Amino acid sequence: MSRPLALLGCRLLDPESGLDRVGGLLVRDGRIADLGPHLRAGELGPEVEEIDATGLCLAPGLVDMRVQLGEPGAEHKERIDSAVAAAAAGGITSLAALPDTSPPLDDPAMLEFVARRARKLKSVKVHPCACLTRGAEGRQLAEMGLLREAGAVAFTDGCRAVADARVMLRALSYATAFDALVIQHPEEPALAAGGAMHEGPVATRLGLPGIPACAEVIMIERDLRLVEATGARYHVAHLSTAAAVEVVRRAKARGLPVSAEVSPHHLLLTEAEVEGYRTYAKVSPPLRTEEDREALIEALAEGTIDVVASDHAPQDQESKRVPFAQAAFGVVGLETLLAACLQLWHDGRIDLLRLLAALTVRPASLLGIEGGRLAVGAPADLVLFDAGLRWTVTEAGLRSLSKNTAFEGREFRGRVVRTLVDGRTVFSLGDGAT
């Protein structure tokens, strides 16, 4: 077994218990053995490796529930090893991998392939999601029972919406048999077809085809009727509109088993980023208006939105450096997830523990995995960060294989200093960081 490790003098932050105080944390055999203000330097015995973390924050490692790995099928955009390295640099200790790869994760063998490749790296924990329908094509249900047994933490067709209401009804009904989480990309495909950015005055002025806000709302409202009929657990991925927030708020008030998620780029950016035809601002769903952005922040702060996920979607240069209408959707986000979210706290828009809950314990609970907690006996999956450290995002500094960040050149306050998985350091800021 590895030597016991103590992180001392740090600000302990546990969103589940509400813990927020200076103290230390002791790791033994990959799990949290003790924590609190009583742990002090020089008092733990010679066998314990002590790390002075004075002035730093220690929180549960982030749990990112929406990540495109690229592998298999698009290894030129991202490999599992490069994604895991980027995740570790971002303070992420567990991630849920989307299944719409090539070939897709729609059978147990493919699920095991991804899980096995990730285990060999002995770094960030990778939990595969499985396709909701065969080939993520939205026509026939995948073998959900077998996929659940093989370790699928959730079911989704990734970046494709399940447009057929009958198929979605059957999927939700079947999911209730084993309490599975169904994740939907909330976009009515016919309304979004051919669109490149948010439909509105900016798109009109730029001469770009738009994606209307109603495409998101219509899909969610339809699905909520099906949730009401089945009682299935339903998760709305990457909300982007104020209207959709209101629909989710009402559904929760009625007691429906609904959860929702938002991405950092939708919390910080608007359609104005597209000015100059910046393809790195082309995402799905598209960046919306300032009013939509404000509604998303308010919904996160009040708990209507449960989770913040990176929505990491790596794209190579050839996919982005083309005319805007032909460019691929998506941005990378693993390494900027925590820093981007901390901006909301620095701006006084959200409480720190509530923000961390959306990045740790809530996604872990929804996915049914260990993690997201500072508690004795919990896995020592931890992120140590400097909440005030200023740094600038650069393409050269990213560990992701693709460099399509929406935050190029942006200065953030707050940076990951160390990431630990099962008590092992998988990232340290001093190890080649830029």
* Averaged pLDDT score across all residues of the chain: 96
Percent of the chain with pLDDT over 70: 99
pLDDT of residue 382: 98
pLDDT classification of 42: cutoffs 50, 70, 90 = confident
pLDDT of residue 154: 98
Phi, psi for 118 (deg, rounded to 5) = -70, -40
Question: How many Cβ atoms sit within 10 Å of the Cβ of residue 316?
Answer: 17
Q: How far is CA 55 from CA 7, 129, 434, in A?
A: 12, 37, 21
> pLDDT for 262-299, tens place per residue?
999 999 999 999 999 999 999 999 999 999 999 999 99
pLDDT of residue 1: 60
Rounded to two decimals, the pTM is 0.96
Q: Averaged over 229-249, what is the pLDDT?
A: 98
Cβ atoms of 35 and 374 within 8 Å: the answer is: yes
The number of residues in the chain equals 434
Q: Which residues are catalytic?
A: 311
Q: Averaged over 27-53, what is the pLDDT?
A: 94
Q: Is the pLDDT of residue 330 over 60?
A: yes
pLDDT classification of 430: cutoffs 50, 70, 90 = confident
pLDDT of residue 307: 98
Question: How many Cβ atoms sit within 10 Å of the Cβ of residue 180?
Answer: 23
> pLDDT for 70-88, tens place per residue?
999 999 999 999 999 999 9
Q: Averaged over 237-260, what is the pLDDT?
A: 98
Cβ atoms of 225 and 201 within 8 Å: the answer is: no
Q: Averaged over 244-258, what is the pLDDT?
A: 98
Percent of the chain with pLDDT over 90: 97
Report d(CA 54, CA 52) in Å as an integer. 6
> pLDDT for 146-178, tens place per residue?
999 999 999 999 999 999 999 999 999 999 999
As a 3-state breakdown, the chain gives helix, strand, coil percent values, each rounded to 5, of 35, 25, 40
pLDDT of residue 21: 97
User: Domain boundaries in the chain?
Assistant: 61-367
Has domain 61-367 been given CATH number 3.20.20.140?
yes
Cβ atoms of 51 and 420 within 8 Å: the answer is: no
Report d(CA 158, CA 180) in Å as an integer. 16
pLDDT classification of 43: cutoffs 50, 70, 90 = confident
pLDDT of residue 2: 81
pLDDT classification of 434: cutoffs 50, 70, 90 = very low
pLDDT of residue 433: 42
